Structure 1
Amino acid sequence: MTLEFPYRIDSRGRSAEREADARIRQMIEQVLFTQPGERVNRPDFGCGLLQLVFAPNSDALAAALQSTVQGSLQQWLGELIEVEGVQIEHVDERLQVSVQYIVRRDRERQLANFSRALP
């Protein structure tokens, strides 16, 4: 946990911490790298990002990936964040995803980077 910036006192009279931001980042990562059908009680959860990576590379595929990922993030996390942009790169055997978003709670702009080795 890190201290809130700008510094402020929370409702308990202590230094406010930023644990909510770390939780949001973890939830974004779950949406990105969970395959639809992987969760028993939520078969439509996830975005299928890892499945689409092995399709032939093209501008149309890149646009479809960005649209699919952005739509999934808005569907599952739309109450918490407003997605501004998604950047997806395939570098060697790694998939790198950057998500720029605004946290609705405090309107703070965030950039989260994720990297995953491809199977």
Structure 2
Amino acid sequence: MSPRFAAPRFSGLTVGGPASTTGGGVGLGITPTGALAMVDGDASVRQAILLLLSTRPGERLMRPTYGSHLHRLIFAPNDQTTAGLAIHYVREAIERWEPRVQILAIDANADPDVPERLTVELRYLIRSSLATETVHYPLDLDPAMGGHAPTSPHRGPAGHPDLATDPDPESPQDHDTASGGTPDVPAGP
């Protein structure tokens, strides 16, 4: 085989070392033959969950609904409403896309050390091995929010776009008063 088609050797990677079992941890593992090391078993489930939670619906080819809606919370304040929505989005994604696990508990709390971080904790049972695992998924919110709800006419209570009364803020039915348009006002008596 010509060197052009040989497996590349990367500096800084551990050759022959195990693959990362943390799901976002130390890097790639390389087998002695130069191939990428694969994870399996419980570590595979953990990585699949982390991938699911960090994928936006529409990003994956041939599976446009795969993923979670956690990305919708990026500009939300770090409060109990956001935590509740995060729990809902995690439960919805896991129940739909990860049949290998049974959800035991989901919790979301503000990180006391990083005010703009919401940490989602997922405890689950792996059905095949009956092992109980926990995943901590940090969700970094916009630090410019400062814990306050934005003032936007297209956001619902507490500034959450998912609770807005207008389902599509970009729809042509919006009234643009800034460009000289006038909102519909009922005629007086």
Superposition TM-score, scaled by structure 2 size: 0.47
Q: Give yes or no for contact 1:66–1:88 (8 Å, CA) kept in 2.
A: yes
Measure the CA separation in 1 of the matches of 2:103 and 2:72: 22
Select 2:76's aligned residue among 45, 48, 55. 55
Residue 69 (1) aligns with residue 61 (2): no
Q: When the two structures are aligned, how many residues end up with a matched partner?
A: 102
Measure the CA separation in 1 of the matches of 2:128 and 2:118: 30
Query: What SS is found at the alignment partner of 1:98?
Result: strand
Q: Give yes or no for contact 2:86–2:120 (8 Å, CA) kept in 1.
A: no
Question: Bigger radius of gyration, 1 or 2?
Answer: 2
Match of 2:120 in 1: 97
Query: What SS is found at the alignment partner of 2:63?
Result: coil
Point out the structure with the larger helix share: 1
Q: Give yes or no for contact 2:104–2:123 (8 Å, CA) kept in 1.
A: yes
Point out the structure with the larger strand share: 1
Measure the CA separation in 1 of the matches of 2:118 and 2:55: 14
Distance 1:30 1:86, change over 3 A: same
Match of 1:112 in 2: 135
Select 2:55's aligned residue among 17, 21, 34. 34
Measure the CA separation in 2 of the matches of 1:118 and 1:110: 25
Measure the CA separation in 1 of the matches of 2:90 and 2:82: 12
Select 2:106's aligned residue among 79, 86, 95. 86
Runs of at least 5 residues in structure 2 that lack an aligned partner in the other structure: 1-17, 19-38, 143-189
Letter in 2 for 1:87: D
Query: What SS is found at the alignment partner of 1:19?
Result: coil
Q: Give yes or no for contact 2:120–2:137 (8 Å, CA) kept in 1.
A: yes
Distance 1:116 1:61, change over 3 A: closer
Q: Give percent identity, aligned residues only.
A: 29
Runs of at least 5 residues in structure 1 that lack an aligned partner in the other structure: 2-17
